Amino acid sequence: MRLQARRADDPELNLTSLIDVVLLLVIFFMVSTTFVQEGRLRVDLPEAGSTAAAPPRERPIVITITAQGSYRIDERALVNNLPETLHAGLRQIAGEGRARPVTIRADARATHQSVVTAMDVAARLGFTQVNIATVSQPAED
pLDDT at 119: 94
Do residues 53 and 94 lie in contact, with contact meaning Cβ atoms separated by under 8 Å?
Answer: no
Other CB atoms within 10 A of residue 77 CB: 11
Looking at domain 61-132, which of 3.30.420.270, 1.10.3680.10, 3.10.440.10, 3.10.310.70 is its CATH number? 3.30.420.270
pLDDT at 105: 92
Who has greater pLDDT, 129 or 47? Answer: 129
Q: Considering the entire predicted model, what is its pTM?
A: 0.57
Mean pLDDT of 38-60: 60
User: Which tens digits make up the pLDDT trace of 8-48?
Assistant: 777 777 778 888 999 999 999 888 877 665 555 455 555 66
Residue extents of the structural domains in the chain: 61-132
pLDDT band at 120 (very low <50, low <70, confident <90, very high): very high
pLDDT at 59: 85
Calpha distance 41→45 (Å, rounded): 12
User: Which tens digits make up the pLDDT trace of 66-118?
Assistant: 888 899 999 888 999 999 999 999 999 988 888 889 999 998 888 999 999 99
